[in-house]
Amino acid sequence: MSRTPPPHHARYSTGHVPLNRALSKMGLFSRKEAEEYIFSGRIKVAGKVCRDPFFPVSPEKDLFAFNDTPLFYAAKRTVLLHKPRGVVTTRSDEKGRKNVFDLHPDAFRGLHAVGRLDRASSGLLLLTNDTRFSSDLTDPQNAIPRRYVVTVTGRIEEKHLEQLKNGLLDKGEFLKVSDVMLRKASGRESHLLVTLTEGKNREIRRLFKTLGRDVTRLKRIAFGKLELGTLEAGAFRVLSETEVREIGL
């Protein structure tokens, strides 16, 4: 479990970062895994055991070891997972629920989720060990489109589509879609294709809630130029360098 950094680590000199962050950025461990190994005395910095996850280190200059084996930067790797419903995207869940990393523990070691999909949602989820790439993908200024197929209760009309495009307030936060298309509507439910360019928490569910509608199905089918296609739920594939380069940044 993480703890508050001591006062003498409150500021880091240029080129230095906390040990747990350095190990995570190397793409070998998640932040949580790194902290566990640090606390258990399995990590050495410059030949000495370090049990402080906030110890200042220089990723470019310091030598690190895990169980006395030297650590080096992992090759950058990004996978596209078809996240099934019923699993969370965070490694450390307070309720101990199954997470996406439990699906393929060995293949997903050292990776972290890009953005999030809530437990009840499914579809395209990217996992990577490239923290800069991850930050670029989730930066609102880059406005990378994410497309979702959505089913909601009740009939959605043209006026509702305009409201979604113009934006709505939910608990003081402004929410809006980049685009929305009504595919089918009846008195019982409506089916839509929704595009977002920001990753605000549960944005689609909150938007429809303000319209008095509940989302009963939410599936992400595209992220930038990447598409889920026919990949089965729970399956994944490793992205090629070309796919990573052309995702839309």
Q: What is the CATH number of the domain that holds 96?
A: 3.30.70.580
Q: How many domains does the chain have?
A: 3
Where is the domain boundary, 49, 71, 93? Answer: 71
117 within domain boundaries: yes
Domain with 32 in it: 17-71
pLDDT, averaged across the chain: 90
Instruction: Write out the chain in H/E/C secondary structure.
Output: CCCCCCHHHCCCCCCCEEHHHHHHHCCCCCHHHHHHHHHCCCEEECCEECCCCCCEECCCCCCEEECCEECCCCCCCEEEEEECCCCECCCCCCCCCCEHHHCCCCCCCCCEECCCCCCCCEEEEEEECCHHHHHHHHCHHHCCCEEEEEEEECCCCHHHHHHHHHCEEECCEEECCCEEEEEEECCCEEEEEEEECCCCCCHHHHHHHHCCCCEEEEEEEEECCEECCCCCCCCEEECCHHHHHCCCC
* pLDDT in the model for residue 5: 54
Instruction: Indicate if 154 and 188 belong to the same structural domain.
Output: yes
- Model confidence at 246, in pLDDT bands (50, 70, 90)? confident
Specify whether 61 is located in the same domain as 175.
no
What's residue 180's pLDDT? 97
Catalytic residue of the set 52, 62, 118, 170: 118
> pLDDT digits over 113-157, tens only?
998 899 999 999 999 988 889 989 999 899 999 999 999 999 999
95 and 208, same domain (yes or no): no
- Is residue 150 located within the same domain as residue 199? yes
* 197 in a structural domain: yes
Q: Are residues 43 and 30 in the same domain?
A: yes
pTM (2 decimals)?
0.76
Is 27 domain-assigned? yes
Q: 7 or 109: which carries more pLDDT confidence?
A: 109
CATH number at residue 32: 3.10.290.10
Instruction: Give catalytic status of residue 62 as yes or no.
Output: no
At 158 the pLDDT is 96
54-113 per-position pLDDT tens digit:
999 987 788 899 999 988 877 888 999 999 999 999 887 778 899 999 999 888 988 889
Do 134 and 241 reside in the same domain of the chain? yes
Within-domain flag for 25: yes
Residues 129 and 91 in one domain: yes
